[in-house]
Structure 1
Amino acid sequence: MPVDKPTYAPTMTLAMGHKRAQMLATIRQFFAQRQVLEVQTPLLSQAANTDTFLQSVAAQVTYQDKPHTFYLHTSPEFAMKRLLASWQVAIYQICPVFRDNEIGSRHNIEFTMLEWYQPHYNLHDLAEELGQLLEALYGYPIILNHYRYIDAFMDYVGIHPLTASLTALQAVAQDKGVEVLNLTNDEVELADHRQSYLDLLFSHLVEPNLGYDLPTLIIDYPPATAALAKTALDKEGHLVAKRFELYINGIEIANAYDELAEGPALRARFEADNKQRLQHNLPPMPIDEYLLAACDELLTCSGIAVGLDRLLMVIIGAKSISEVIPFPSGQA
């Protein structure tokens, strides 16, 4: 009869541990060859992510004998941009990041992120470097498929995402059964907003089809999803966010921005996020004033964040994140 694993045992096997270690070694060698500097920034910050859809993990600390609320970062982005503004060289980081209430076959509250910034790179340059990194990790040549958000949405949803009315999007969602079959309680609260419908339709009807034949970059997102990315007009005159996301086997792996470095514009976005958070009964998050101050010296650059646990999952064909990390949050 099979012997039960002891309660302390990791969910990741020793063999997988070796594969994970080799992946990290390959990434570090890749960036060392390109003279991209590895950095380490704090996990705890006095500021937090204002994004309505990313919930920060709060930590109560004592600082100078007084209680304070700090936050575990959802990404090293803010601190890395402060380094970039001062040092003005290409940098990367591999670190744990934290997002509250994210548990599932592809999610964990704590996960590992690779993030890097290249001065004077545009999104095309960054996509090319991403492809080279994937080749190093897979061990064979990689071709990246570039697929506009508009085209993917029309192919799989059948409606133009940037011109369709809210009523039309609601009708498509109802017809496709997204509202009835797939909405969570949190999504129901947000579903009266146009962008929320776009997000729902994209995540349920488009994402599962992406990146099976070739790793796929979705480009030119709706402007409401710009976050910290620049916006520009596409070839048809639509305002779009200058960013891309990488999908492999229907899984989102990476998120890249042509970085916006205008302090007043970023402040306006953060403040708008906090207003939206209040509308959805979420606490407003403290804005990173250090980042806004650094914007005056931030070089023109592009940056990308890669979920390394998910990337390892698709490379080796794992079905659950618990196969590629030793202790999921429920067993940590």
Structure 2
Amino acid sequence: MSSPNHRLDASSYAPTMTLAMAQKRAQMLADIRQFFAMRQVLEVQTPLLSQAGNTDTFLQSVGAGVTYQDQLRTYYLHTSPEFAMKRLLASWRVPIYQICTVFRDNEIGSRHNIEFTMLEWYQPNYTLADLADELGQMLEVLYGYPVVMNHYRYVDAFMDFVGIHPLTASISALQAVAEDKGLSVSGLEGDGDSSQQSEDNIRQGWLDLLFSHAVEPNLGYELPTLIIEYPPATAALAKTALDKDGNQIAKRFELYINGIEIANAYDELADGQALRARFEQDNQLRRHHNLPLMPIDERLLAACDELPTCSGIALGVDRLLMVLVGAAQLSDVISFPSDQA
């Protein structure tokens, strides 16, 4: 006797996003493309799969086994289109943008999904201030009215909401403040390595913990807020410089709206040797945290030596739509979250 058929009801297959929201999403994407078309910024496409991966210690790539010329190889779904876009930029040297799906393993929550949509663009000969102005102009188009953005130094935001100077406080002081707030994370107490690199990483770990829990939730409610002049350990692929107080800072900003990080921008580092050193340090940290080492993108390093002076920005499209329409969670603005894909 055959088993009976089990029919699933609509709640098991229906999208989490309504048709009306899908129409708003489509209009936002059309408006973004029109914005860049008017400015003669070229839309590009780059591969989702790469032989190299993101070495960032706390960004986990999704690996994929592919067969190439009858040989099984590991490729990685990109965590952003940055590496490939910089290779285009080094060759073509014109403004470019891309809207694409990106992937980050083990990221699930009301504001996270393993796959999400990113808008990334690069402007040759733009300063960070130029890029911030362009971001503001795009927000005005999407909001439909003039937008004023608040510029807020990382140091000032940290002191306002945490009460301690992030760049000069000792590691023990940062740890004490975090523990007083009930915050802790394994691996930040040190491992007996007294090297400057280890101390910098431990310091940044406490800063990241305090910033994400005590500062971020307060940002961007009255006005969209740009946090500027980040600690140098957060530079990633950005240049570094000295702030007005003589402290080393990363030349980057992040956009926050309603307590949510929306975008991340860099004054791009065009130095393959310096970038290699950062990637190798990332992999040392990955080894320390028992994470897989990631193959370094040699093509990117070669391209970086030919990169024009430029600034670039990555923006979370799903999160931006959330704040534009007042959605409570990411599942309201995407069709199928990872747990229902």
- Same fold, TM-score > 0.5, yes or no: yes
Determine whether 1:213 maps to 2:222. Answer: yes
Determine whether 1:286 maps to 2:295. Answer: yes
**Alignment correspondent of 1:226:** 235
Q: How does 1:31-50 map to 2 (within 5 A)?
A: 31-50=36-55
Whole-angstrom CA distance in 2 between matches of 1:268 and 1:103: 31
1:212-251, CA deviations, whole angstroms, 9 ceiling, x for partnerless residues?
Answer: 0000000000000000000000011000000000000000
**What runs of 5+ residues in structure 1 fail to find an aligned partner?**
180-186
Q: Displacement of 1:190 after TM fit?
A: 4.2
Q: Displacement of 1:189 after TM fit?
A: 3.0
Contact kept in structure 2, 1:191 and 1:197, CA below 8 Å: no
Determine whether 1:22 maps to 2:31. Answer: no
Whole-angstrom CA distance in 2 between matches of 1:113 and 1:312: 12
Question: Secondary structure, in 3 states, of the residue corresponding to 2:11?
Answer: coil
**Alignment correspondent of 1:195:** 204
Q: Displacement of 1:178 after TM fit?
A: 1.7
**Alignment correspondent of 1:120:** 125
**Alignment correspondent of 2:312:** 303
Question: Secondary structure, in 3 states, of the residue corresponding to 2:187?
Answer: helix
Total equivalences in the alignment: 322
**Alignment correspondent of 1:9:** 14
Question: Secondary structure, in 3 states, of the residue corresponding to 1:313?
Answer: helix
Q: How does 1:82-161 map to 2 (within 5 A)?
A: 82-161=87-166
- Specify the code of the residue in structure 2 equivalent to 1:268: A
Equivalent position to 1:71, from 58, 68, 76: 76
**Alignment correspondent of 1:255:** 264
Determine whether 1:172 maps to 2:177. Answer: yes
Whole-angstrom CA distance in 1 between matches of 2:304 and 2:205: 29
Q: Displacement of 1:211 after TM fit?
A: 0.1
Whole-angstrom CA distance in 2 between matches of 1:117 and 1:128: 14
**Alignment correspondent of 1:321:** 330
1:45-100, CA deviations, whole angstroms, 9 ceiling, x for partnerless residues?
Answer: 00000000100000000011100000000000000000000000000000000000
1:184-221, CA deviations, whole angstroms, 9 ceiling, x for partnerless residues?
Answer: xxx42346411100000000000000000000000000
- Specify the code of the residue in structure 2 equivalent to 1:96: T
Equivalent position to 1:236, from 245, 260, 268: 245
- What is the TM-score when the length of structure 1 is the normalising length? 0.96
Q: Which has the larger radius of gyration?
A: 2
Whole-angstrom CA distance in 1 between matches of 2:68 and 2:206: 42
Contact kept in structure 2, 1:85 and 1:299, CA below 8 Å: yes
1:21-58, CA deviations, whole angstroms, 9 ceiling, x for partnerless residues?
Answer: 00000000000000000000000000000000100000
**Alignment correspondent of 2:57:** 52
Whole-angstrom CA distance in 2 between matches of 1:174 and 1:230: 32
Whole-angstrom CA distance in 1 between matches of 2:326 and 2:189: 33
Question: Secondary structure, in 3 states, of the residue corresponding to 1:151?
Answer: helix
**Alignment correspondent of 1:183:** none
Whole-angstrom CA distance in 1 between matches of 2:188 and 2:297: 26
1:104-150, CA deviations, whole angstroms, 9 ceiling, x for partnerless residues?
Answer: 00000000000000000010000000000000000000001000000
Q: Displacement of 1:157 after TM fit?
A: 0.3
Of 4-13 and 299-308, more deviation after overlay is shown by: 4-13
- What is the TM-score when the length of structure 2 is the normalising length? 0.93
Residue identity over aligned pairs, in percent, reads 79
Whole-angstrom CA distance in 2 between matches of 1:314 and 1:188: 33
- Specify the code of the residue in structure 1 equivalent to 2:326: G
Whole-angstrom CA distance in 1 between matches of 2:265 and 2:206: 22
Q: Displacement of 1:5 after TM fit?
A: 3.6
Whole-angstrom CA distance in 2 between matches of 1:271 and 1:289: 12
Whole-angstrom CA distance in 2 between matches of 1:62 and 1:213: 52
